[in-house]
Amino acid sequence: MTDLHFDETLLNDNILDALWDMHFDKCTPIQAACIDQIIEGHDIMGVAQTGTGKTAAYLLPVLSLLDDGGFPEDAVNCLIMAPTRELAQQIDQAMQGFSYYLDGISSVAVYGGNDGGRYDQELAALRKGASVVIATPGRLISHMQMGNLDLSRLSFFILDEADRMLDMGFSDDIMAIAKQIGVNPQTGVKGPFKCQTIMFSATMPDNINRLAHTLLHNPVNVRIAVSKPAEKIQQSAYVCYAPQKLPILKSIFKNGFTTEAGQQYGLTRAIIFSGKKQRVKEINAALKQLGVNCGAMHSDLSQAERDDIMYRFKAGMVEVLVATDIVARGIDIDDIQMVINYDVPRDIEDYVHRIGRTARAERDGVAITLVADDEMGYFRKIERFIERDIHKNTLPEGIGEAPEYKVTEGGKPSGKSNKRYRGKNGGKNGGKQGGRQGGKQGNKGNYRRNNKSKNTQGK
């Protein structure tokens, strides 16, 4: 379904009021496919990448149903599981906006790494029976083991980024939570208190199929194709040997970067991604030695440390963020000028997530990927997906010769170049009822139709 507007769905008026105030008019494809199906009571298996509007696709219909009433007031009615604290916080922020006109709908975000005061707030909200709980698996399991919450009357169970949760080792935790809400993990048969289950995943590997078969009952399957990166992102790559990556990165920060079109960029607002936290630490340390105002973001940091570095980066107090992929799915900053992939993502979705942090809000942006000789096959898959050859930059002077960029038909790298790397660093690896209500009824329809250029993606 295309060009569906929110006021054409089954969402109630209070939700539509909030969307109207937020200038959200037209549904994204995942929202158009899911909203009415959820309101009609169907389980959902959705495959969609971050940035397609999937948070609103499940939050809006669930909040609409909760607001319509008929659910116990002293129970947790909706549980949303997220793999990381950052995503849980992002969902909670979306919840606050969408529920602005909803009376009696409460929520709490539950995640680890907090001080005692935060834990006490979580405990009070869980025991009182918050309408919506947004939680990471580990922290929720801790509360369950301490008897801090009752999920026996849960009405909605939502797994967001289920593939990432399984990748992070949360499979047993999810099964333990499923038992508490009346799902038998052996048979998939739900208990007497009906719980509507909704799963979203960026990919659909075998383990997600098995989980869906266990938890979902006659689900509606929704698959949204991975979107290609925005055309205004200027993508390029350095083909190199692995030991050349850090010297290339240092050269970029010393001398700036000039695009294929001759546009020059300084490194004032940039994110460098690596899939390994130890490498993130090494890159951050090397850049600090160069005098770069940078900070690292990875899973070894405490929640307070992660919140602090993210606050300072958003505020511009830190200019360069070196991060693992947890940030690719959790950051929402509009002025990122450059994204550098220190390594080539194994999944096309991760590449799209990463470089999608730049060229936002009508701005231009640059995405650079460092492609080692053993990563060529993965990078060629990305090129095939976006249906273009990404420009290959010339290596900076003094770094040595580059391997030939050549990939076999099967997508595997064809092997190292006959030329050996001879760089000098080669050994290093381096008021609702008043005027608003009256004016709304007369103007809302025309406003929505005439303002389609507004941001409709939302959350």
pLDDT digits (tens, 9 = 90+) for 89-101: 889 999 999 999 9
Reply yes or no on whether the pLDDT at 16 is more than 90: yes
Reply yes or no on whether the pLDDT at 416 is more than 70: no
Averaged pLDDT, 28-44 = 95
352, part of any domain: yes
Same structural domain for residues 216 and 240? Answer: no
Angle among Cα 47, 321, 405 to the nearest 5 degrees reads 70
112, part of any domain: yes
Same structural domain for residues 362 and 259? Answer: yes
Band (pLDDT 50/70/90 cuts) for residue 120 is confident
Q: Which of 223, 249, 270 is at the close of a domain?
A: 223
Reply yes or no on whether the pLDDT at 441 is more than 60: no
Averaged pLDDT, 201-206 = 82
Q: Which of 346, 365, 392 is at the close of a domain?
A: 392
Closest CA to 359 of 273, 427, 271, 444: 271
403, part of any domain: no
Instruction: Note the pLDDT of residue 329.
Output: 60
Domain count, the chain: 2
Same structural domain for residues 275 and 200? Answer: no
Same structural domain for residues 185 and 50? Answer: yes
Least confident of 65-79, 195-209, 410-424: 410-424
Q: Is 320 helix (H, G, I), strand (E, B) or coil?
A: strand
* Residue range 99-115, pLDDT digits in tens: 999 998 999 999 987 66
High-pLDDT (> 90) share of the chain, %: 49
Reply yes or no on whether the pLDDT at 425 is more than 70: no
Which CATH number is 149's domain given? 3.40.50.300
Q: Which of 223, 257, 278 is at the close of a domain?
A: 223
Band (pLDDT 50/70/90 cuts) for residue 457 is very low
Reply yes or no on whether the pLDDT at 184 is more than 60: no
Paired tokens of 38: 């959820």
Paired tokens of 339: 């994204």
22, part of any domain: yes
Instruction: Note the pLDDT of residue 458.
Output: 45
Same structural domain for residues 164 and 272? Answer: no
Q: For residues 310 and 374, what is the distance between their CA atoms, to the nearest angstrom?
A: 33
Instruction: Note the pLDDT of residue 408.
Output: 56
Band (pLDDT 50/70/90 cuts) for residue 249 is very high
Instruction: Note the pLDDT of residue 349.
Output: 76
331, part of any domain: yes
| Torsion of the alpha carbons at 173, 324, 58 and 153, rounded to the nearest 10 | 20
Same structural domain for residues 68 and 180? Answer: yes
High-pLDDT (> 70) share of the chain, %: 82
Same structural domain for residues 212 and 331? Answer: no
Angle among Cα 258, 226, 207 to the nearest 5 degrees reads 120
Band (pLDDT 50/70/90 cuts) for residue 300 is confident
Q: For residues 367 and 358, what is the distance between their CA atoms, to the nearest angstrom?
A: 8
Instruction: Note the pLDDT of residue 360.
Output: 77
Band (pLDDT 50/70/90 cuts) for residue 326 is low
* Residue range 51-93, pLDDT digits in tens: 678 899 999 999 999 999 999 888 899 999 999 888 898 899 9
Instruction: Note the pLDDT of residue 167.
Output: 80
Least confident of 28-32, 90-94, 167-171, 428-432: 428-432
Q: Which residues contact 419 (CB under 8 A, 6 or more apart)?
A: 401, 403
Instruction: Note the pLDDT of residue 339.
Output: 95
Paired tokens of 289: 């030695």
363, part of any domain: yes
Same structural domain for residues 306 and 174? Answer: no
Q: Which residues contact 229 (CB under 8 A, 6 or more apart)?
A: 235, 351, 352, 355, 356, 367, 386
Q: Is 429 helix (H, G, I), strand (E, B) or coil?
A: coil
Asked if 276 and 324 count as a contact pair (C-beta separation under 8 A), the reply is yes
Same structural domain for residues 75 and 13? Answer: yes
As a residue count, the chain comes to 459
Instruction: Note the pLDDT of residue 219.
Output: 94
Same structural domain for residues 164 and 191? Answer: yes
208, part of any domain: yes
Same structural domain for residues 211 and 248? Answer: no
Same structural domain for residues 163 and 279? Answer: no
* Residue range 365-412, pLDDT digits in tens: 899 999 999 999 999 999 998 889 999 999 999 999 999 998 654 444
Band (pLDDT 50/70/90 cuts) for residue 232 is confident
Residue with token string 């070894």: 300
213, part of any domain: yes
Instruction: Note the pLDDT of residue 452.
Output: 38
- Residue 444 phi, psi (nearest 5): -60, -45
Instruction: Note the pLDDT of residue 110.
Output: 93
Instruction: Note the pLDDT of residue 334.
Output: 79
Where are the extended beta strands (E) located within 100-164? 107-110, 132-135, 156-159
Least confident of 28-32, 322-326, 451-455: 451-455
Instruction: Note the pLDDT of residue 417.
Output: 42
Instruction: Note the pLDDT of residue 202.
Output: 79
Which residues form the domain of 331? 233-392
